[in-house]
Amino acid sequence: MTPRRVRDTVLRVEGESPYDVVVGHDLSERLPQMLGVSVQRVAVVFSDALAELVRPVLDSLAAAYDVMVLPIPDGERAKKAAVAASCWEALGDAGFTRSDAIVTFGGGATTDLGGFVAATWLRGVRVVHVPTTLLAMVDAAVGGKTGINTRSGKNLVGAFHEPAGVLCDLSLLRSLPRPELVAGLGEVVKCGFIADPVILDLVEDHDVDTLTADSPVLRELVERAVGVKVDVVTADLRETGGTGSHPGREVLNYGHTMGHAIERTENYRIRHGEAVAIGCVYVAELAARAGTLAPDLVDRHRSAFASVGLPTTYSKAAFDDLLRAMKVDKKSRGSQLRFVVLADLAVPTVLAGPSVADLRDAYAAIGGRR
């Protein structure tokens, strides 16, 4: 007997341009519905490392659309102005119009770059994201942020451009290298601390080795993490601020100020989710020194990230180098650093202008060099 297929989960992102995020298995048949009936031509932006994995998607689209391929470099090497320009030139040569559409297929770097190309070509064309990594499913593909890197830092050039839909096809995670899946859990655990503590219970109660592409627990973690992001971006799409003391969309950058600084000093050789895990532990230590977070929650940061195999210490860079990198963080205001911190579990707030002494001490607490 053929096993009954588990029903797809559909999470609706409301706002100016509502769209669905679908979580399930073998979702490629949903692509035409998300692209819409008026689309005739589709450009597929994908990492050149995924040339074989993307083939079924290309074949499926070719049955209904004129398909052009836009392979790009793998990982953060894709997020450069030169790569975006090469995509623009290809679209121009093909006569790509505003009624055509883009599909991104890959990890977060592909989603960011492909979304940015969609946002800027003819001031905006339709885009559907098909993330192939856990990190992209729970982070980059949802929320409409697109961007590229510069020498000064990560994602400093970009645009808000909401997709027409997102397909989180868990089947694609079967081919994902294990270290990449574990790294993606960094963003998942982060969501547990900022909004949904059930996520923490799930990762603490299950062995990380059981979290596979076909695991019901991993599926629930994806759905919960996506749900956190959907709620946040629905309330504050363009990061203009939350209500009361809540940071609004900035809350999604929990752990990212230090995390991005580590990525930059490592020349992006460290995985994003690993850097975020370290950054979350760092900011928990910083919040403790500022008097907003109890020691037991600092300890839980360490234990929760460690339970899924993520790093919680860092010592490869000098503090002053990281401080310079943090000062170009997008949340900074003038010369003042701002950090999303916790006042309690799932109670985020903003810490503005912490002392250099506290910043330095928090780095020492995660094993760093003063």
Annotated binding residue 108 = yes
Distance CA 228, CA 19 (A): 16
> pLDDT tens digit string along 155-194?
889 999 999 999 999 999 999 999 999 999 999 999 999 9
Angle, alpha carbons 152-79-253 (nearest 5°): 65
Among all chains, which residue has been given the structure tokens 């903003």? 350
The whole-number average pLDDT for the span 277-282 is: 98
Between the alpha carbon of residue 321 and those of residues 20, 46, 255, 273, 368, the distances in Å are 41, 34, 17, 21, 12
What are the DSSP calls for 4-45, one per residue? Answer: PPPPPEEEEE-SSS-EEEEEESS-GGGHHHHH-TT--EEEEE
Task: Write down the pLDDT at residue 2.
Answer: 45
Sorting pLDDT into bands at 50, 70 and 90, what band is 222?
very high
367, pLDDT greater than 60? yes
Annotated binding residue 29 = no
Distance CA 154, CA 147 (A): 8
Annotated binding residue 256 = yes
The whole-number average pLDDT for the span 22-48 is: 93
Annotated binding residue 325 = no
Distance CA 236, CA 271 (A): 27
Task: Write down the pLDDT at residue 38.
Answer: 87
Distance CA 263, CA 135 (A): 15
Q: Which domains does the chain have, with CATH numbers?
A: 9-175 (3.40.50.1970), 178-365 (1.20.1090.10)
Task: Write down the pLDDT at residue 15.
Answer: 83
4, pLDDT greater than 80? no
Annotated binding residue 124 = no
Annotated binding residue 154 = yes
Annotated binding residue 74 = yes
Q: Which two tokens stand for residue 166?
A: 């997102």
Sorting pLDDT into bands at 50, 70 and 90, what band is 16?
confident
Between the alpha carbon of residue 346 and those of residues 193, 200, 296, 314, the distances in Å are 5, 11, 14, 25
Look at 192 and 238; give whichever has higher pLDDT.
192
Phi, psi of 110 (to 5 degrees): -65, -45
Share of the chain above pLDDT 90, in %: 85
The length of the chain is 370
Annotated binding residue 145 = yes
The whole-number average pLDDT for the span 229-248 is: 85
Point out the least confidently predicted range of 58-62, 104-108, 344-348, 357-361.
58-62
Annotated binding residue 110 = yes
Annotated binding residue 331 = no
Annotated binding residue 180 = no
The whole-number average pLDDT for the span 9-32 is: 93
> pLDDT tens digit string along 97-151?
999 999 999 999 999 999 999 999 999 999 999 999 999 999 999 999 999 999 8
Annotated binding residue 120 = no
Annotated binding residue 146 = no
> pLDDT tens digit string along 287-346?
999 999 999 999 999 999 999 999 999 999 999 999 999 988 766 666 789 999 999 999
Annotated binding residue 250 = no
Share of the chain above pLDDT 70, in %: 96
**Rounded to 10 degrees, what is the CA torsion of 128, 133, 134, 139?**
-50
1, pLDDT greater than 80? no
Of 82, 79, 86, nearest to 153 by C-alpha is 79
Sorting pLDDT into bands at 50, 70 and 90, what band is 240?
confident
Annotated binding residue 132 = yes
Q: What is the mean pLDDT of the chain?
A: 93
Annotated binding residue 119 = no
Could you tell me the end-to-end alpha-carbon distance of the chain, in angstroms, rounded to an integer?
63
Task: Write down the pLDDT at residue 330.
Answer: 62
Task: Write down the pLDDT at residue 248.
Answer: 92
Element (DSSP H or E) covering residue 86: helix 81-93
Distance CA 65, CA 61 (A): 6
Of 51, 57, 58, nearest to 171 by C-alpha is 57
Task: Write down the pLDDT at residue 333.
Answer: 63
